Amino acid sequence: MVRPACLDIVRLPLQIVLNRNPEWKERPVAVVSEDAPLGAVLFTNRVAEQAGVQRGLRYAAALSICPALHGSVVGDTEIQNAIDSLVSLLQRFTPHVEECAFDPGALWLDAHGLEALYGSVSEWALTVRAAVRGQGYFSRICVGYSRFGSYAGAKRAVRGFQSSAEERRWVRGAPVSLLPLPTEVEQRLQQLGTTTVGEFCALPREGIRSRFGMQTDAVYRLATEPEVLPVQGADTPSALRAQMVLDSPLSSTTALLSAIEGLLLDLLSQTVATTQHMRRIELELDCEDGSCLREALQPATPSRDAAVWLRLLRLRFESVQTAAPVQRITVHVEAAAVNQPQSELFSTAPRRDRAAAARAFALLRARFGNNVVCRMVLQPEHRPDRRFVLMPLDQLQLPARIRPAGLHLVRRILDQPVELASRRGLRPAAGPFVVSGKWWEQEAERHYYYAWRGRQILWIYHDCDTNRWFIQGGVE
C-alpha cells in the first residue's frame, strides 16, 4: 500500500535567488539562463510580472521593459544542493523521499501509515510544509492516491482528495499546462485544442509517441498508468563520519592526537570492507569556549594506509594550537574508489620519483598548511614583477628540458622593489626600456635601465609618476 504525496517547491530557482538576496524580495527579480543579453528569462517574481516581464523573454528585452530588474543565474549544483538539504529534512517525516526525475522542484513522499503518528495525513502534510517553510522555501503539498494525481494536485495547490475516484475526476479536468512536457509539445497540444489532462489522455498513445517522442510518452504513461509505484528512498551518503564527545575536555596535543587517531582507525576499518580509499579528512574540534577549529588533510593519493594518515595528522598537530580545551571531536571522511592501474605493475621505476615528491609535498602541506607548495606560472604581462604568479601545485609536472644557447645572463627579481636612495656610483649599461603600465588603472610609466655598480649589474627603474628610482633586481 502506498499513499503518495507530492511536495512542490514553487519556482525553486527563484526562491534560491531570493534566499540568497533577501533584500530583493520587494523588487523585480528574474532567474535567467545566462547573464547576457540573449539569456532567457526562466522565472519571475510577482513584482517583475507586474512590470511586464514574462517568462521566455530575452534578458535584454526584459531589462528594456523593466530597467530595475534584478537578474540572476542559478546553477544546477546550487539547485541540487538545495534539493539535497530538503531531502535530508524530509527524511525526518517519512523514510521514503524520491526526487522527481522530470521536475527538479518536485519531490514524492510516501505518507502511508503516518496518520497514526500525526493524527491524519493532512496534519502530516501541514507539518512537512511548515518544516520546509522553516528552511526558507515556500511549497505546496498534496496527498493523493496516485503519483500523477498528487503531482497535479500540488501544482494546482490542491491539498488532497477524498477518494481515488475524486482524484481521477479532478485530474481529467486539470489543465494540460501542468504536465511536465517540453515547451514545443505543450504548444502543439494547445494548437490542437487539447487543453485538459483528460483530453491529452484521450489521444491515442501510439500517435503521441510517434509525434512527440519518448519524453512525452513517459508523461503520458505516468498520467494514464493505473497502478501506483512505490516511492523510493534516497541513497545513503557514501561519506563517513565519526564523533567523540569527551567527558573531560582535552587540552594536551598528545591526548588529542591519541583520541583522533582512535576515531581515524575506526573509520579506516570501515573502508576496508569496500573498494574505497580515504581521499580527504576534515577535523572539527569543538572547544569549551564555543570556538571550533577546522583542519583538512589530504595525502598525495587516496589511501587507507593508517601510517600515512597518522603521519600527516601528527605533522599537522605540531603547528596547531586550540584556543581552549576540546570537548568534542568530529572526523569527516571523503572516500573515493581507487583502482590500481594494471600497467603500473609492469612499469619500471622512473628516474624522477614523482610519487615520492608528491608524498614529500603532502608532508609539507600537513606541516605548514595547504597552500604552502606552489609553482611559478608565467603571465602574459609587461611589467617584470607581474610576469609570474605563484599558484598552489596540484600535481607535479616534470620540467621541460631547456638547452640554453650561447651565453645567458640571469635576472634576479626582488620580492619588493627597493628604493634607490642615490644614483651616485651607478654607470648606465643599457636603457631606457619603457613600460607604460595599465592606462585603464592609471598606472605610471616606468623607464627601466641596467646599470653598473662596481662589478655588479643592477636592474633599476624610474617611476615617472613619483620621480623616484627603484632597484627591481640584479643581473648575474
Partner 1 sequence: MCYVPLWCRSHFSFLHAAGSPEELVLRAAEYGLPAIALTDRASLSGVVRAHTATRAQHRAAAQPAGGQPGQPAIRLIVGAEIETTDGSSLALLARTREGYGQLCRLITTIRLRASKGQWEATAEDIAGHAEGLTALWTTGFADASSHTVGLLREAFGEHLFAAIARHRLPEERARERLIRAHALEHQITCAAAPQVLYPARENRPLYEILRCIDRGTTIHQIGNRVPPNAEYALRCGEEIARLYRDIPETLEQSLQIARECRFSLDDLVYRYPTERVPEGYTTGGWLRRVTLQGAQERYRGEVPTEVSQQLKKELALIEELDYCGYFLTMYEIVNFCRERGILCQGRGSAANSAVCFCLRITAIDPVRMGLLFERFLSRERAEPPDIDLDIEHNRREEVIQHLYQSYGRDRAAMVANVIRYRPKSAIREVGKALGLPATDLDRIARMVSHRSTALPEILRDAGLDPEAPLHRQLIELSREILDTPRHLSIHPGGFLLGSEPVIELVPVENAAMEARTVIQWDKYDVEALGLFKVDLLGLGALTHLTGAFALLKQHYGLDLSMARIPARDDAVFDMLCRGDTIGVFQIESRAQMSMLPRLRPREFYDLVIEISIVRPGPITGGMVHPYLRRRNGEEDVHYPHPDLVPVLRKTLGVPLFQEQVMKLAVIAADYTPGEADQLRRDMAAWRRSGAIEKHGETIISRMTSKGIEREFAQAVFDQIRGFGEYGFPESHAASFALIAWCTAWLRHHYPAVFACALLNAWPMGFYAPATIVEDAKRRGVTVLPVDTARSDWECTLEGGGAAIRMGLRYVKGLSIQAWEQIRRARSEMPGSLAAFVSAARLDERSLSALAESGALSAFGISRRQALWEVLGSTRRRDIGRGRESRRTLPTRPAMAGESKSTLQQPLDATANTVAPEFRPLDETELIRWNYRRTRHSADGHPMAPLRGHLRNRALPTACDVAAGIDGSTVSFVGLVICRQRPSTAGGTLFLTLEDETGFVNVIVWKSDFRRHRVTLLTQVVLGITGTLQRQDGVVHLILRSCWAPQIPGGAPAVASHDFH
Q: Where does this chain bind partner 1 (CB under 8 A)?
A: 35-37, 51-52, 59-60, 63-68, 71, 188, 191-194, 202-204, 206-207, 210-212, 379-382, 430, 432-436, 438-440, 442, 445, 448
Smallest separation, CB 11 to partner 1 (Å): 21
Nearest alpha-carbon partner for 311 in 243, 248, 242, 264: 264
Omega within 30 of 0 (cis) for the link into 95: no
Dist. CA 334–CA 75, nearest whole Å: 24
Find the angle CA(71)-CA(72)-CA(75) to the nearest 5 degrees.
155
Residue 354 vs 438, nearer CB to partner 1: 438
Q: Measured between alpha carbons, how far is residue 210 from residues 102, 184, 217, 449 in Å?
A: 20, 15, 9, 77
Smallest separation, CB 466 to partner 1 (Å): 18
Smallest separation, CB 438 to partner 1 (Å): 8
Residue 190 vs 254, nearer CB to partner 1: 190
Q: What is the DSSP string of 15-79?
A: HHHHHH-GGGTTS-EEEESSSSTTPBEEEE-HHHHHTT--TT-BHHHHHHH-TT-EEE---HHHH
Smallest separation, CB 119 to partner 1 (Å): 45
Dihedrals phi, psi of 139, to nearest 5 degrees: -145, 170
Note whether 474 and 456 are within 8 A (CB): yes
Smallest separation, CB 431 to partner 1 (Å): 8
Residue 211 vs 314, nearer CB to partner 1: 211
Residue 49 vs 288, nearer CB to partner 1: 49
Residue 194 vs 271, nearer CB to partner 1: 194
Note whether 290 and 279 are within 8 A (CB): no
DSSP β-bridge partners for residue 160: 143
CA-CA-CA-CA torsion for 188, 189, 191, 193, nearest 10 degrees? 170
Smallest separation, CB 24 to partner 1 (Å): 15
Smallest separation, CB 112 to partner 1 (Å): 37
Parallel/antiparallel/unpaired status of strands 70-72 and 29-32? parallel
What nine digits make up the cell of 344? 603500473
Smallest separation, CB 432 to partner 1 (Å): 6
